[in-house]
Structure 1
Amino acid sequence: MDDDVVLVQVEAVPRTSTGSARVRVRSDVGTAVVFWAGASEEVGGEHHVEWSIDEDVSWGSNTWPAAVPAFGLWENGGQLVFRGRLSFTADGGATLEFASALILLDLATPGPPEVVSGTGAEVQVPQSSVSLYPYLL
């Protein structure tokens, strides 16, 4: 299986005022409402998915050391919090190992200190910046 794909339960929720499709995603590590990037007829049931976060990671602002060493996902107001293992990539980006998935992240400048690579982190981003893409294996 691809490293960036995870199996989750997906159910429809009311569309946004702009008509964007949203889903409630239930995983082993938490539940949240996110944008659905697949066809509307695909909503419902189990899906392998890829997570997309369209928000730069800024250490100390929206990213910090994890409070506990366990994967997690939860809503915090209009924000989503992902807890996982943060690692840096050779091209200047980062990944968050989240349950059985890798989420690609863009780093704000300046990026997190090198010493945090491979450690637990919590990333909090606007709910509107998170999308879920169905993935066929």
Structure 2
Amino acid sequence: MVDDDVVLVQVEAVPRTSTGSARVRVRSDVGTAVVFWAGASEEVGGEHHVEWSIDEDVSWGSNTWPAAVPAFGLWENGGQLVFRGRLSFTADGGATLEFASALILLDLATPGPPEVVSGTGAEVQVPQSSVSLYPYLL
């Protein structure tokens, strides 16, 4: 059984940042983007099951809003990444974004999104530097 938090994607290396951090271009069924690679450099390339990590609080109306269309998506917007999926709240005060076949855990800024948006389509736009991809062995 596959973990609900992981998804199979195509990963290819791109030039390192000025700080030496490894980056990859990830290609999925819902879009393509460049993100930080949290795995070993020799693991870059080919297909991988991965887990997404977003180190940025969700702030409704600032970096998160209702989805324009009801379909999963991923794209770059300048130095930002946009994830489109289904936003739901968790019992511990956080949130998840159902994104294709993965669940991305999110922290909520205060005040959080209105309760009425739980379970609805949303777009989350965060700095590219706040997104990491972790390889996941099944």
Normalising by the smaller structure, the TM-score range is over 0.9
Q: What is the total number of aligned residue pairs between the two structures? A: 137
C-alpha distance in 2 between matches for 1:20 and 1:40 = 10
> Aligned with 2:53: secondary structure?
strand
- Shift of residue 62, structure 1, vs aligned partner: 0.1
For the pair 1:66 / 2:67, whether they are aligned, the reply is yes
Superposition CA RMSD, Å: 0.1
Q: What is the TM-score with the length of structure 2 in the denominator?
A: 0.99
**Which digits, 9 at most, give the CA deviation of each residue in 1:66-100, with x for residues without a partner?**
00000000000000000000000000000000000
> Aligned with 1:41: secondary structure?
helix
Structure 2 unaligned residues grouped into runs of 5+: none
- Shift of residue 132, structure 1, vs aligned partner: 0.0
Q: What is the TM-score with the length of structure 1 in the denominator?
A: 1.00
> Aligned with 1:107: secondary structure?
coil
Identity among equivalent pairs (%): 99
C-alpha distance in 2 between matches for 1:60 and 1:3 = 28
- Shift of residue 17, structure 1, vs aligned partner: 0.2
- Shift of residue 43, structure 1, vs aligned partner: 0.1
- Shift of residue 57, structure 1, vs aligned partner: 0.1
Structure 1 unaligned residues grouped into runs of 5+: none
- Shift of residue 39, structure 1, vs aligned partner: 0.1
- Shift of residue 54, structure 1, vs aligned partner: 0.1
Moved over 4 A (4+): none
> Aligned with 2:76: secondary structure?
strand
> Aligned with 1:15: secondary structure?
coil
